Chains A and B, each alone.
Chain A
Amino acid sequence: MDAIILQILNGLDKGSAYALIALGLTLIFGTLGVVNFAHGALFMLGAFCAVVMQKLLNSVKITIDPEKLDFLGNPAEIKTPYVELWFGDFGSKLIDYSVPVSILLAIPFMILVGFVMERGLIKHFYKRPHADQILVTFGLAIVLQEIIKAAFGANPIQQPAPDSLSGALDIGVYLGFEANAIIYPYWRLIYFFFAIAVLGSMFAFLRYTTFGMVVRAGMADRETVGLLGIDINKRFTMMFGLAAAVTGLAGVMYSPILPPNYHMGMDFLVLSFVVVVVGGMGSLPGAVAAGFLLGILESFASMNEVKSFFDSIYIKSIDQIIIYLVAVVILLTRPRGLMGKAGVMEE
């Protein structure tokens, strides 16, 4: 029992990432009708916001202390980060909390990226065939990925979680199991709650604000909304920015779990497409539900018991392909996905 709960928990953090990315993808698809192959690159850009923030906060001022000598006999160099000079203890706290702090950088940056992408590139592709949209965003994804590779190198860059949050929580004790039966890192728990908060506010925003109402109306019938005198294109551009921000935030907060590298976007992109298709294209709750489901499924497949069973029939590391297998089965039995509506991309 405790093993099962542990696997469900393990699946939650990956599932939250899938859900956030898939939500962004579905939003863009539902509003603009564009399949965005550069969406994984947005996730990666978000993660690199954390890297940039960490580098900024850790930029140091070098002062020479004339009284002390280092072991070579030269005057010792003292490196103090600027933020510590300026803000004292609060500054060192800032450095410690560089990942959450980088959210402040990520939100405006990702919205800007979304705006530029939509106005500069994707706008010109609404009337072109879907194949062209796929291809141009695919090209953009390669370009973004290679730019990041040229700027930050090919190796993953470790992003430490804040010290006070780097431990693990013994959840098992609260549920009546023995100590150390279910240990779960704090950061993954935070990631899960963060994802829930973002998802919740996104849904609330779409549900309870006038802006959200207009966007939902535009998703249902773009032409009529336009006839009512509402500049729907403007709203959709803003939605693109928001979707980019959601995906970027998913990337920022994921960076302590998976050190950012330049191809993480591509790795997540294919999976999140599968998530969107399984959830049902154009359905926001479907995308979120499928994200969590597939994340948990993946972590179950990586259980030792399951793995050794599949090893015995000569299939190693089943967790690598389980999502794709399940996706194929679901699409064969329910071609519209779990919660797909009729008439979305059917032609």
Chain B
Amino acid sequence: MSAVFKNNDKTLFTVFVLAVLLGPILMAPFGASYPDLLQRFAIFGIFAIGFNILFGLTGYLSFGHAAFLGVGSYSAVWMFKLLSFNVIPALILAVIVSALFALLIGYISLRRSGIYFSILTLAFAEMMYRLAYSVLTPITNGETGLQVYSDDPQYLMGENGITTTHLFGIKMNDVFLRFEFLGREAQFNFGYYFAAIFLILAFYISIRIFRSPFGMMLRAIKSNQNRVNYTGLNSRPYTLAAFVISGVYAGLAGGLLACMDPLAGAERMQWTASGEVVLMTILGGAGTLLGPVLGASFIKYFEAIFSKINDNVLHTWFSFLPDGLENGIVWVLHFFVGKGWHLTLGTLFMLVVIFLPGGLLDGVTRLFNWVKNLGKKKPEEEQSTKASPAE
């Protein structure tokens, strides 16, 4: 069995790497091949993979993961302010600081489980948000948000240093190749590939964790923590490790966000942002390998698309309908597009939790099985079309 799993994982990983590397081309037909959105796919993919290691494996629902994202962003921007625009020190500090925060918060919150844990992480996230927003203004620059000013020290900058974020001279916002693909432009961007390397790394580590004894242990905690405790095992170190790992993923994602655009603001830490990553994970399928990345891309894509739609666009879409009906439909949809994206998000959230608790991947599997069973009902057809279940 294990050999089969390994092979499956290899195929999955290869497909994943190819899809990520060809991302700019693959997303071009959807009109999503521009640096900002592609970077978001990769970064929030990392964030969701990390969240999935905690929620998908241990079942501990944290409502405060955006706090680590924010911490990562703030530390990265501080590195830009103090040293130079090189992204490596920024990411290193982001990872270290978020790991420390995750260790502290996790140590306290994991004393309780279930609902208490969710509420504790929520309270911590709210506290961190307020710390960033007002209390620690000298460090976080309060409402304005932290950014790099020209009179910052930047000790490693030297004469005529590069004034945008870069990796030893390769600028993050450079587009090195662009061409038409299926009528839409595909843009290849350094920043995306930089984030993509981390995404692939994050995905690889997540596969290894899922298949390791450590991952099995986490799953055991999810299915029955009491039994684990009665066996004589102390589950706390395992959950704490999972919490810190997912906190580091979030910090890395936050650092990468700052690397693409050297800003950090408190709104990144608001608890609705934590809710968003929960939705990404659940939408894709919590506890699956690929699900969180799919969910993150799905949400970020539709966020970008929906925010651009306005009433005029809607009217052109539905112009084939009779006037009264057209106006009615546009009036209803008006609340869901443009600035109403959050309403769509909330509705989607409810629909997914009510009807698809296993996420999109689970839905696809169920649909697949349903189609397969349709064929079975007819006695003439042979039953040999048995395909391997999707991961």
Contact = CB atoms under 8 A, between A and B. Distances in A.
Contact of A332 (B108, B116, B127): B108
B350 A143 contact: yes
Contacts of A146: 335, 340, 342-343, 346
A270 B124 CA distance: 10
Contacts of B119: 35, 273-274, 276-277
- Taking residues whose C-beta sits less than 8 angstroms from the other chain, chain A's interface range is 35 or more
Given A130-B114, A316-B137, A328 B123 contact: yes
A131 B61 contact: yes
B123 A142 contact: no
A136 B345 CA distance: 12
B353 interface: yes
A347 B271 contact: no
Interface string B96-129: 0000000000001001111110111011101100
B29 interface: no
A147 interface: yes
B134 A316 contact: yes
- Taking residues whose C-beta sits less than 8 angstroms from the other chain, chain B's interface range is 35 or more
Contact of B271 (A131, A139, A270, A276): A270
Given A139-B346, A328-B108, A277 B116 contact: yes
A320 interface: yes
B243 to A, nearest CB: 16
Interface string A272-310: 011011000100000000000000000000000000000
Contacts of B345: 142
Contacts of A274: 119, 123
B115 A139 contact: no
B138 interface: yes
A321 interface: yes
Select the residue from A134, A145, A150 with max chain B CB neighbours within 10 A: A134
Interface string B334-348: 010000101101111
B135 interface: yes
Grouping DSSP codes into helix (H, G, I), strand (E, B) and loop, the B interface class, with mixed when no group exceeds half, is helix
Nearest to A146: B343
Contact of A139 (B108, B120, B131, B347): B347
B275 A321 contact: no
Interface in B277-298: 278, 282
A11 B126 CA distance: 21
Nearest to B125: A270
A143 B343 contact: yes
Nearest to A337: B116
A345 interface: yes
Contact of B343 (A124, A130, A147): A147
A62 interface: no
B271 A150 contact: no
A142 B272 contact: yes
B130 interface: yes
A331 B110 CA distance: 12
Contacts of A276: 119
B226 interface: yes
Contacts of A324: 123-124, 126-127, 130
Contacts of B278: 135, 138
A317 B134 CA distance: 7
Contacts of B354: 121, 124, 136
A335 interface: yes
Contacts of B194: none
A314 B135 CA distance: 9
B228 to A, nearest CB: 12
Contacts of A347: 113-114, 225-226
A128 interface: yes
Contacts of A317: 134-135
Interface in A108-149: 121, 124, 128-132, 134-136, 138-143, 145-147
A294 to B, nearest CB: 12
Interface string B220-236: 00000110000000000
A345 B353 contact: no
B282 A135 contact: yes
A42 to B, nearest CB: 16
A147 B272 CA distance: 16
Contacts of A345: 114-116
A105 interface: no
A139 B116 contact: no
A196 B282 CA distance: 42
A30 to B, nearest CB: 13
Contacts of A315: 135-136
19 contacts: A121-B354, A124-B354, A129-B59, A130-B114, A132-B357, A136-B350, A139-B348, A146-B335, A146-B343, A146-B346, A266-B271, A273-B122, A277-B120, A277-B123, A314-B138, A316-B137, A318-B135, A325-B127, A332-B111
Given A139-B350, A139-B353, A316-B135, 7 more contacts: A135-B349, A142-B272, A146-B343, A150-B335, A316-B137, A321-B135, A324-B124
